[in-house]
């Protein structure tokens, strides 16, 4: 399961999913959600783990087919997952920091 914490550094046995203010209400107000892991996993599996606890959050990140929404950017340790051939399969190692950023539009 996921746990919340305020620390800025993920541990070697967890992945920290960082959320901007716009997504925090869908995650109980949390800035960072720790997801305990034993080994590297694909981004889709990480999002599945989040979905168990915060389905409203993952609905804002993924579409009905389970793909990343067009307007959501996800970075694993600073690397854009869309640079991977299949973003859902982008590897997320233990100790990684995953940043989820929805695009901002306006004028």
**Sign of the dihedral defined by the CA atoms of residues 79, 32, 26, 104, in that order:** negative
pLDDT tens string 57-105: 999 999 999 999 999 999 999 999 999 999 999 999 999 999 999 987 6
Which two tokens mark 55?
């389905």
pLDDT, tens digit (0-9, with 9 covering 90-100), for 5-61:
444 455 678 999 999 999 999 999 999 999 999 999 999 999 999 999 999 999 999
Question: Which residues, listed in sequence order, are joined to residue 32 by a DSSP beta bridge?
Answer: 18
Domain spanning 3-102, CATH class: alpha beta
What tokens does 19 get?
């959320």
**Residues 6 or more apart from 1 whose CB is under 8 A from it?**
36, 49, 52, 53
């Amino acid at each position: 399961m996921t746990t919340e914490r305020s620390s800025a550094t993920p541990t070697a046995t967890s992945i920290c999913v960082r959320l901007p203010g716009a997504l925090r209400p869908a995650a109980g107000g949390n800035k960072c959600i720790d997801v305990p892991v034993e080994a590297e996993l694909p981004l889709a599996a990480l999002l599945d783990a989040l979905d168990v606890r915060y389905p409203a959050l993952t609905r804002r990140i993924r579409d009905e087919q389970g793909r990343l929404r067009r307007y959501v950017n996800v970075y694993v340790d600073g690397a854009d997952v869309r640079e991977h051939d299949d973003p859902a399969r982008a590897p997320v190692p233990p100790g990684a920091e995953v940043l989820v950023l929805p695009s901002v539009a306006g004028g």
